[in-house]
Amino acid sequence: MITLCGIPLSNYYNKVKLALLEKGIPFAEERVETHCHEEAVLSCSPLGKVPFIKTPQGALCESQVIVDYLEAAYPGTPALVPADPYQAAKVRELITYVELHLELVVRELYPEAFFGGQVSDGTKKRVARVLPENIRAFRRLAKFGPYLAGDSFTMADCAGWVSLPLVGMATKTIYGEDLLAAGGVDWKGYAKLVGDRPHAQTVAADRKADQERSLAANRAKS
């Protein structure tokens, strides 16, 4: 059986978890904090990043590597990419834009947007300069028909559902304006669409429970 390792607060953990659930693959979960430097973790994820999975053959890290493995290793389960090679590549193209050109750019704002830290003015200016162009580029690719790649739920939606809200919320907190919505992306409507899926509701409930657990633990320490 596959073991998914990480924390439910991680959007990339939830990307993999949603893919596992949508494909109906049995799995267990093991809590591993991000950037853990214990040897048992580093032997599976050399940078200590989550998520990673443990399989009978060994460990795999990096969320896109993991979901691509799941797609190849479990062909009898519901497909999350089209059979046509070009259309499958278009799905993965969308994932790259969501994660590399949107989420990764905005991730630099997270310490201040979500965790009570501070981000330099230079970082804020750089993100504000780069992000609008990236959003316009993403809009050229995303179909929202109603899913990112068209009329069917795909791997791109596993990525989009967990990451696009973070882009919108982080920019709203830092700049006072949701740059994703301002760029013409109705991420709230899209997030509701995907969020109404039963497996997405499971992921969201588990994330909320873990967030509440973390808050309670922090209050107990103070």
Q: How much is the pLDDT for 222?
A: 65
What gap in Å lies between CA 151 and CA 184, rounded to an integer? 20
Q: How much is the pLDDT for 218?
A: 73
Residue 79 structure tokens? 């497909």
Low-confidence ranges of the chain (pLDDT < 50): none
What gap in Å lies between CA 12 and CA 207, rounded to an integer? 12
Contact 147, 22 (CB under 8 A): no
On whether the 85-218 domain is CATH 1.20.1050.10, my answer is: yes
What gap in Å lies between CA 87 and CA 133, rounded to an integer? 25
Cβ-proximal residues to 54 (8 Å cutoff; 6+ apart), any chain: 2, 3, 5, 30, 44
Q: Where are the domains of the chain?
A: 2-73, 85-218
Residue 81 structure tokens? 């990419």
The per-residue pLDDT for range 142-174, each reduced to its tens digit, is: 999 999 999 999 999 999 999 999 999 999 999
Q: What is the CATH number of domain 2-73?
A: 3.40.30.10
Contact 12, 160 (CB under 8 A): no
DSSP three-state, residue 153: coil
